[in-house]
Chains A and B, each alone.
With several copies, the nearest count.
Chain A
Amino acid sequence: MSFSTSFWSLANPARFMSLTARAVPILSVLAGVCLVGGLVWGFFFTPDDYRQGSTVKIIYLHVPAALMAINGWLMMLVASLIWLVRRHHVSALAARAAAPVGVTMTLIALITGAVWGQPMWGTFWAWDPRLTSFLILFLFYLGYMALWAAIDDPDTAADLTSVLCLVGSVFAILSRYAVNFWNQGLHQGASLSLDREKNVADVFYHPLLLSMAGFILLFLALVLAGTRTEIRARRLHALRLRERMA
């Protein structure tokens, strides 16, 4: 079975359920190991930075969370497109399941960033472009979830949230540029570039990678588990309607 046929077979709810039944526990265990490993390593066994002192330890939370916040939205975008084009229900439900995970990641990035900002920039909140665009992303997530919650009919909800996700993505990118234009900020640029010279020192780098892996795995595990729940809830919805009619 080629990759592409096995991928699309996930679109069948029953297939999806049986294929992921095993994956979720495995992913969860892996996520737990990487997360605990990365965070313990970062928190207990790395030195303080010469400028930032112990606050550098926040990086193991902040950066992976920020990463997954953005990737969560990307995943929703792709899943929405699949739903709109190929009408695979599982895809729409996966997008729905990704939203709460993504919003939590965004919130973690915002909170850890704010807490980091107090010692570094002397303020909890500054209208820095990156911070600001994260706040906007947070609002997008909220709106997206609220729209899902507000509509009774699941297929209507899937359609409307997908359209919102598409239009929202365009505007999210637009906001990013607008915000940059509006205010040159305090936040540092990407420090995980391929150019080794500019990377953070290795002592911080390795635990950071491990913790990132943990966040990614955790994200996957949660989204898959959430999708399974959404599928069951969708089936439950269908059955309840039958009962109501009978």
Chain B
Amino acid sequence: MTRIFLRDLRLGVRAGGGFGLGLAFFLIVVVLVPFGIGPETARLGPVAPGILWIGALLACLLSLDRVFALDREDGALDLLATAPVPLEGVALAKAAAHWITTGLPLCLAAPALAVLLALPWPGHLWLAVSLLAGTPALSLIGAFGAALTVGLRRGGLLLSLLVLPLYVPTLIFGADVARRGAEGLSPLVPLALLGAVSLGCLAILPFATSAALRVNLR
């Protein structure tokens, strides 16, 4: 399991592996938003937390189809399924590698990028905290969606559609934490809910993911 995790990390960091893909996408969104909606601080400020969270979510969404699809294409998934490791472990290792290569960089970069969108001050901190609490759920849910669609040639579209509704609660709580933080209200209630979502995902989803994988390998 650790081995799979480490291999995925290494593959991710290799040229073209996708490390930084999410981050770059996030950066792109943040840079483009002012060109789209206009440069005025009064316009940008209020929507900044929401935009940043949506950007992070999309960045996760986009890198999902690599979670299993690459291994499926070159036959490695068949081999992993018959290797002496539980498939739940494979699922968890892959979700964890996805989080490290996508979610974590987002959490670290978000406060800096928030400056570009004129996010009011204490918001930076809360934005990072909310992402830290929320992105693991995004990776776990995403791995589940990726497992469901792995058999389909370029199931990217379907994957997005399946995962989207599952992402909604995380997005609502997460953006709420960041918004309340930016507006100076207490963000503790949505933060607690957000943490609960992440922990729940961690407890349940690896099993669902491995079940989906098993069906798709047939």
Contact = CB atoms under 8 A, between A and B. Distances in A.
Interface stretch (B65-73, B87-95, B103-111, B159-167): B159-167
A164 to B, nearest CB: 6
Interface string B1-20: 00000000000000110000
- Consensus secondary structure, chain B interface: helix
Interface residues of A, number: 37
B35 A171 contact: no
A123 interface: yes
A127 interface: yes
A167 B205 contact: yes
Contact of A139 (B116, B161, B173, B211): B161
A171 B158 contact: no
A150 B152 contact: yes
Most buried by B among A125, A143, A172: A143
Contact of A182 (B39, B161, B211): B39
Interface in A158-176: 159-160, 163-164, 166-168, 170-172, 174-175
B138 to A, nearest CB: 13
A135 B28 CA distance: 12
A181 interface: yes
Interface string B191-218: 0010001000000110010011001101
A115 interface: no
B31 A135 contact: yes
B162 A124 contact: no
A125 B115 contact: yes
Contact of A150 (B155, B166, B197, B205): B155
A163 B162 contact: no
A127 B165 contact: no
B148 interface: yes
A160 B148 contact: yes
Q: Top 8 nearest A-B pairs by Cβ distance?
A: A127-B39, A178-B169, A159-B215, A178-B172, A143-B162, A139-B165, A174-B169, A143-B161
15 contacts: A125-B118, A128-B39, A132-B34, A139-B164, A146-B158, A147-B148, A147-B158, A150-B155, A151-B152, A160-B212, A163-B215, A167-B205, A171-B169, A174-B169, A174-B197
Given A123-B41, A151-B152, 13 more contacts: A123-B118, A125-B116, A128-B39, A143-B162, A146-B158, A150-B152, A151-B151, A156-B215, A159-B215, A172-B165, A175-B165, A178-B173, A181-B172
